[in-house]
Structure 1
């Protein structure tokens, strides 16, 4: 559980880091590098893919990073492979961002359509993360209910 008092500072740190990284990339490669701009009707498709990608990533993170039975390098490997898979799937459609902080910096430096379409990279990841959290909590509650059930019910 993340302390509520640290949520806003954490978000601000993420956004600041994303902007700083984009500034370095803009100096090295020119403005707009790393900004993906879905065109026209592709905006809804991009929201959908960002929702799905973030959903998958967050579900894996919560499953492996919060389970005491999983140790060693398994969480990092599972999360890393999920990011690779997400980028391979979503890269051509939306850029495979999965993180509003990652998309803000390039959008600011590219301006124009990249900045006006930034909403995609807020809506999609937020919907995906919330959906994954709700599913994970529901699955965890079901497991806890099953563990607390009387033995006679467990045999059914």
Structure 2
């Protein structure tokens, strides 16, 4: 059972004048036998763009026609590939505006509040120093208590 998905709100971006020129190029390449009759607009776009510079599997006779179409499009619309990329980025940004929601006010978490105190340039050093003194005092106090009841002679101590 398949479910019906709603139609996307955003269509794939392509400036209309470039789309019309690509459609003319698709028809030209179809007449020349480079593309099949059912080829989409994106297939002609792929052929004339520089994404596949080797054009593996395309006959040399067709390569001259593809190069001519590329040069014609570049003359009509200088920087056409950059315009297509820009249109894609604009569409992505509009989709993100619909999808992303950022909180208006960042609330400090418990960890943020602890960091604000412990990493304070004035009080942070004092807190760290106090923690180290407490740690060392605890270690030596426990070890003194442990050895106080022991009958093992320690260096420099007399056993009684």
Q: Give TM-score scaled by structure 2 length.
A: 0.26
Greater helix fraction, Structure 1 or Structure 2: 1
Bigger relative contact order (CA 8 A; separation at least 6): 1
Q: Give TM-score scaled by structure 1 length.
A: 0.27
